[in-house]
């Protein structure tokens, strides 16, 4: 009796092991099928050479290309089911002009042929061929907000500094602002970078110095550099004030009296 139970337990274990192996093999096969299907698929792409494209709307010269397995030997491109052209060597791509076809929606497709005779179908792409006038309007709708932002920023860059200058803001200009500070390359005075300054990544910020009123490309300076520039300008101002002749009327009268003693 004990021997029979042991045999049944042994058979049960083998059955469970065999079932687990089968399940694992099935799982691996399921995972491999998408990869194999993707490897044998034909992928279509359309890119602009010259013209206009916005979403599914296109106008001008375009290039349709197909990519597939390594043994891909030929690709036949189609438009609305009609042959657009056949390419028998890589890169498998073909140029077409939307103006050669009627306005409206069109379907682009491709059929590939491998070296061993296997036929591959690419996923079709749908585009609306639009006239040049629509392309111009679409381009204008994209550029208009950009132009408004650019010219609005330029207007703010000019108007706000002038208003600050008229209120005597230059004399009380902070050395280090929200965006940091810099040193004017024209007059050497430090000032805080303005929010409205035009940011040019490769050249820095195009900002206006509130002291000398000149525009220049500047970069953010460290606090030590700002303090050194401010101290240097303060020392220069004090030296200039000490060397300048007295402008006070009382001091001028005393000077004239002193000078008259020697006449």
Quick one: average pLDDT of 217-241?
84
pLDDT in tens, 124-152: 999 999 998 866 666 666 666 776 676 66
51, with CB counted inside 10 A (0-12, 13-18, 19+), is middle
| Domain finish residue from 130, 165, 199 | 130
The answer to whether residues 50 and 104 belong to one domain is yes
Q: Is residue 251 a part of any domain in this protein?
A: no
Q: What is the predicted pLDDT for the residue at 95?
A: 96
| pLDDT value, residue 38 | 45
- Residue 176 in any domain: the answer is yes
Choose the final residue of a domain: 81, 107, 130.
130
Query: Is residue 16 domain-resident?
Result: no
Which one is predicted more confidently, 10 or 120? 120
Phi and psi at 107, nearest 5°, equal: -110, 125
CA distance 46 to 44: 7
Q: Could you tell me if residue 33 is inside a domain?
A: no
Q: Are residues 160 and 100 in the same domain?
A: no
Could you tell me which of 153, 217, 214, 155 has the C-alpha nearest to residue 182?
A: 217
Q: Identify which has the larger pLDDT, 99 or 167.
A: 99
Of 17 and 171, the structure prediction assigns the larger pLDDT to 17
Tell me which residue of 167, 184, 166 sits closest to 175, measured CA to CA.
184
Do 91 and 177 fall into the same domain? no
My answer on whether 235 and 152 are in the same domain is yes
Q: Could you tell me if 198 and 216 are in contact, meaning their C-beta atoms sit under 8 angstroms apart?
A: no
Do 117 and 74 fall into the same domain?
yes
Range of the domain at 108: 43-130
Shared domain check, 146 and 201 = yes
Q: How many domains does one find in the chain?
A: 2
- The band of 88, judged by pLDDT with boundaries at 50, 70 and 90, is very high
Whether residues 164 and 111 fall in one domain: no
**Does residue 6 fall inside a structural domain?**
no
Instruction: For 199-217, write each residue's pLDDT tens digit.
Output: 876 778 888 888 888 898 9
Look at residue 74 and tell me if it is in a domain.
Answer: yes
Q: Which token pair is 232?
A: 């240097």
* 182 touches 207 (CB < 8 A): yes
Say yes or no to pLDDT of 163 above 70. Answer: no
pLDDT averaged over every residue in the chain: 77
Residue 256 lies in a domain: no
Query: Which of these three, 76, 96, 130, is where a domain ends?
Result: 130
**Cα 166-171-177 angle, rounded to 5 deg:** 100
- pTM across the whole model: 0.44
Q: Which has more pLDDT, 138 or 81?
A: 81
Q: Are both 48 and 106 inside the same structural domain? A: yes
- Kindly state whether residues 107 and 47 are assigned to the same domain: yes
What integer is the mean pLDDT of 6-22?
Answer: 58
Q: What is the mean pLDDT of residues 46-74?
A: 93
Claim to verify: residue 117 and residue 204 sit in the same structural domain: no
Asked whether residue 223 is assigned to any structural domain, the reply reads yes
Query: Is residue 96 located within the same domain as residue 126?
Result: yes
Work out the angle at residue 185's Cα, subtended by the Cα atoms of residues 172 and 245, and round it to the nearest 5 degrees: 60
CATH at residue 66 = 2.60.40.10
Residues 117 and 164 in one domain: no
| First-to-final CA distance of the chain | 148
């Amino acid at each position: 009796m004990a021997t029979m139970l042991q045999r049944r337990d042994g058979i049960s274990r083998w059955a469970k092991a065999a079932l687990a192996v089968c399940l694992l093999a099935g799982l691996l096969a399921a995972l491999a099928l998408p990869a194999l299907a993707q490897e044998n698929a034909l992928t279509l792409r359309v890119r602009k050479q010259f013209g206009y494209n916005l979403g599914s709307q296109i106008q001008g010269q375009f290039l349709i290309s197909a990519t597939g397995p390594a043994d891909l030997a030929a690709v036949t491109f189609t438009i609305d089911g009609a042959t657009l052209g056949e390419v028998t060597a890589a890169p498998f791509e073909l140029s077409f002009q939307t103006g050669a076809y009627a306005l409206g929606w069109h379907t682009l497709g491709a059929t590939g042929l491998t070296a061993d005779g296997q036929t591959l179908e690419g996923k079709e792409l749908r585009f609306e061929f639009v006239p040049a006038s629509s392309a111009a309007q679409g381009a204008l709708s994209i550029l208009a907000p950009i132009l408004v932002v650019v010219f609005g920023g330029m207007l703010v860059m000019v108007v706000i500094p002038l208003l600050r200058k008229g209120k005597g803001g230059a004399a009380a200009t902070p050395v280090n602002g929200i965006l940091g500070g810099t040193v004017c390359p024209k007059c050497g005075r430090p000032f805080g970078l303005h929010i409205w300054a035009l940011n040019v990544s490769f050249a820095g910020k195009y900002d206006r110095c509130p002291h000398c009123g000149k525009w220049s490309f500047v970069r953010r300076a460290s606090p030590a550099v700002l303090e050194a520039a401010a101290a240097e300008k303060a020392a220069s101002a004090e030296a200039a004030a000490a060397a300048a002749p007295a402008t006070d009327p009382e001091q001028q009268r005393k000077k004239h009296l002193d000078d008259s003693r020697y006449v």
